Amino acid sequence: MNINLTLLVQMIAFGVFVAFCMKYVWPPIMKALEERTAKIAEGLAAAERGKEEQELGEQRALEVMKEAKTNASDIVSQAQKRYNEIVDEAKRDAVAEAERIRTAAQAEIEQEANRAREELRERMAQLAVAAAEKILQKEVDAKAHKDLIESFAKQI
């Protein structure tokens, strides 16, 4: 347990180690720690900003949705209107068409009736002529009495 040169050597070594630690160990570590502190602060600030932006975005989304809803209901009501119009138009067309068909049918019916009436008239004339023949028991010259027959037929 003698105090000797060891003491001085240890003092020198101590100084050397402290100097090396001060020059080569402490600064890089502290720099890394400070940089990390700055980074974390930055990250937190960015998170805060992100949060605000998200809130803004949500608000904006709500607005857009609201607008879209209004638009959609506008479109629906317009469509409804147009639908009604189309239905009305179709109804009118249908009524017109029906009228036209009815008119055409009526005309045809009238035509048919006229034709039938004509035919009937002729048949009656023939029958009348035949009846007259029988009554006169004599052959009537159809040609000679053509005027007579026709006037008769017209009277029917």
Partner 1 sequence: MAADTLTAQDYIAHHLTNLTLGLHPEHGLTFAHNAEEAAAMGFWALHVDSLLWSFGLGYLAYRFMRGVAQKATAGVPTGAQNFLEWIVDFVNENVRGSFSGKNDLVAPLALTVFVWVFLMNLMDLIPVDLIPYAFAQFMGLFGADPHHVYMRIVPTTDPNITFGMSLSVFLLVLYYSIKIKGVGGFASELTMQPFGKLGMPANLVLEGISLLSKPLSLSLRLFGNLYAGEMIFILIALMYGHNLLLDLSGMTLQLAWAIFHILIITLQAFIFMVLTIVYLDMAHQHH
Interface with partner 1 (CB under 8 A)? 1-11, 13-15, 17-18, 20-22, 24-33, 35-36, 38-39
Residue 10 vs 103, nearer CB to partner 1: 10
Structure tokens at 135: 């009554």
Structure tokens at 131: 């009846």
Considering the complex, what minimum distance in angstroms separates the CB of residue 51 from partner 1? 23
Q: Which amino acid is at 54?
A: Q
Considering the complex, what minimum distance in angstroms separates the CB of residue 66 from partner 1? 44
Residue 14 vs 83, nearer CB to partner 1: 14
With b meaning 16 or more CB within 10 Å and e meaning fewer, what string describes 50-77? eeeeeeeeeeeeeeeeeeeeeeeeeeee
Considering the complex, what minimum distance in angstroms separates the CB of residue 45 from partner 1? 16
Q: Return the DSSP state at 137.
A: T
Considering the complex, what minimum distance in angstroms separates the CB of residue 42 from partner 1? 11
Residue 37 vs 78, nearer CB to partner 1: 37
Structure tokens at 143: 């040609």
